[in-house]
Homo-oligomer: A and B are copies of this chain.
């Protein structure tokens, strides 16, 4: 076991995680004098903003994924390694991973976040998160298996529980997946599942705060809410889910909702590494970094993107955990690592907010673009263009576009495949396989 990477006269930059930030950094170091090692748990880059479309059968996972080795084909002084990183040894300048130890000259932690179940083990074991391709496919499996079970179920209560979907978390992911599921309910179910008869899918969206899309403008928030209500989503605000047992979701006011499908998109926490702990971390277990993304007190360790927390004057409580911050930090860090090597002073980071978008359904989206607030069809077009532009690879863009056009005109979502993917848990243990 080992990384099998040669020692050369070039300094080695090790990047943990090939998400938006890590990938941008690796790309920008192309013409640098560094040896670059990119480590990821998967052999492909994924595009989290569209995972909800995979979960709701609109797109297939491969359309929003791209193999790292293909991205970095023919690149010199570059190594991709498929591995899970467990810990960092700042004194020895090494990391510990599933394939052994690796020395670094500069370490960049760009590992992002995982779902935060806020300590509730029952919910962690039985709910469905949606942070990775694997989780999105497992969620799709469960949704479709429960529909199949509902067709054969003769107990009306159990049948309705199989058709109830509870989404916890009213951020962009919760809003987007609720909208997509309500379109599936409206356009696909009557055609595909005539045997459900008079039973209907009920979608509940539960948010603890007083409004949806808390990170967006009040206009965006209220427009999104109106769209979802029109589409038949049951929105429950200012309520918290406290438990999930015997197939019932328990809210903090005592209300219960029977469901066999609990989507948990309620919060995230930073990926954890041994020895990057204690006073190095803050809220959401994010790693505290200075204005150049350096980890406190560790001059050759950096963290970028969702995994880190940086206070800058305009963002005294840290940046939002979104792709744009990660991309801009990755870009600047590529420059700064080269400045540091040249004994120049690194430049501080300033986040340039290009805007925030969320889509709810056909012709329905909300957009906060600096001073301009859009909603409806225009926002929806902007949303599509921005996302299409960000997907890696010309062929992927083309195929996503074909699928979107197809889905738009046919009112259909054709990726309704049950793959019986096992639900892998974040702690490495496996959940229960959905069975018939």
Contact = CB atoms under 8 A, between A and B. Distances in A.
Contacts of A61: 417
A81 to B, nearest CB: 7
A416 B417 CA distance: 20
A191 B402 contact: no
B414 A70 contact: yes
Q: How many of chain A's residues touch chain B, expressed as a range?
A: 35 or more
A180 to B, nearest CB: 17
A152 interface: yes
A152 B416 contact: no
B69 A416 contact: yes
Count copies of this chain in the complex. Answer: 2
Contacts of A415: 62
A44 B99 CA distance: 37
Interface string A50-84: 00000000001110010101100110000101111
Contacts of A192: 67, 69-70, 73
Nearest to A65: B417
A420 B4 contact: no
A43 B416 contact: yes
Nearest to A159: B4
B154 A417 contact: no
A398 B74 CA distance: 30
Contact of A69 (B1, B5, B81, B193): B193
B4 A152 contact: yes
A144 interface: yes
Give the residue among A4, A79, A145 with the most B Cβ atoms within 10 A: A4
Contacts of A154: 2, 4
A3 B133 CA distance: 32
A151 interface: yes
Contacts of A436: 82-84, 98-99
Contacts of A145: 82
A407 to B, nearest CB: 10
A399 interface: yes
B419 A422 contact: no
Interface string A298-333: 000000000000000000000000000000000000
Given A62-B415, A62-B417, A67-B417, A43 B144 contact: yes
Contacts of A393: 414
B395 A406 contact: yes
Nearest to A395: B406
Given A152-B4, A406-B395, A418 B191 contact: no
A335 interface: no
A365 to B, nearest CB: 24
A355 to B, nearest CB: 31
A5 to B, nearest CB: 8
A381 B420 CA distance: 36
Interface string A189-206: 001111100000000000
A220 to B, nearest CB: 33
Contacts of A73: 191-192
A148 interface: yes
Interface string A148-163: 1001111000000000
Contact of A418 (B5, B74, B82, B422): B82
10 contacts: A4-B151, A5-B195, A70-B192, A70-B416, A73-B191, A82-B418, A82-B436, A84-B436, A395-B414, A399-B402
Given A67-B417, A82-B148, A399-B402, 14 more contacts: A3-B152, A5-B195, A43-B416, A43-B417, A69-B193, A73-B191, A73-B192, A81-B152, A83-B436, A99-B436, A134-B420, A395-B403, A398-B402, A419-B421
Instruction: Give me the 5 closest cross-chain CB pairs, A-B, nearest first.
Output: A69-B192, A67-B416, A73-B191, A60-B62, A4-B152
